[in-house]
Amino acid sequence: MLCGRANRCARDPRLRINLSRPFVMTVTEPICIFWDLYIALIYGILYLCFVAYPIVFTELRGWSPGFTGLSFCGTFEGVNTQHRFAIC
């Protein structure tokens, strides 16, 4: 039992450092701050599009809910195309 407890005690500082390091870097490194803000902006725009598609195509254009779902196919195809090029 003593060996197991000693092993756990030796891991605690490393675990604390490894879990806190990304948060410290996010706050202290300027490039990380700008990258986080950029990604937040891009994701915000993407999710606003997901919210706006049903409103625009159902209420303004009068599409049925089934056809409104098809309006997401362009976004889906763009993401798939990007993933194919990013992997290669």
Q: Residue 16 pLDDT > 80, yes or no?
A: yes
Query: For 37-58, what is each residue's pLDDT tens digit?
Result: 999 999 999 899 889 988 999 9
Q: Residue 69 pLDDT > 50, yes or no?
A: yes
Q: Residue 22 pLDDT > 70, yes or no?
A: yes
Q: How many domains does the chain have?
A: 1
Give the separation between CA 43 and CA 81, rounded to whole angstroms.
18
- The parent domain of residue 37 ranges over 2-87
Q: Residue 3 pLDDT > 70, yes or no?
A: no
Residue type, 25: M
**What is the pTM for the complete model shown?**
0.59
Residue type, 59: E
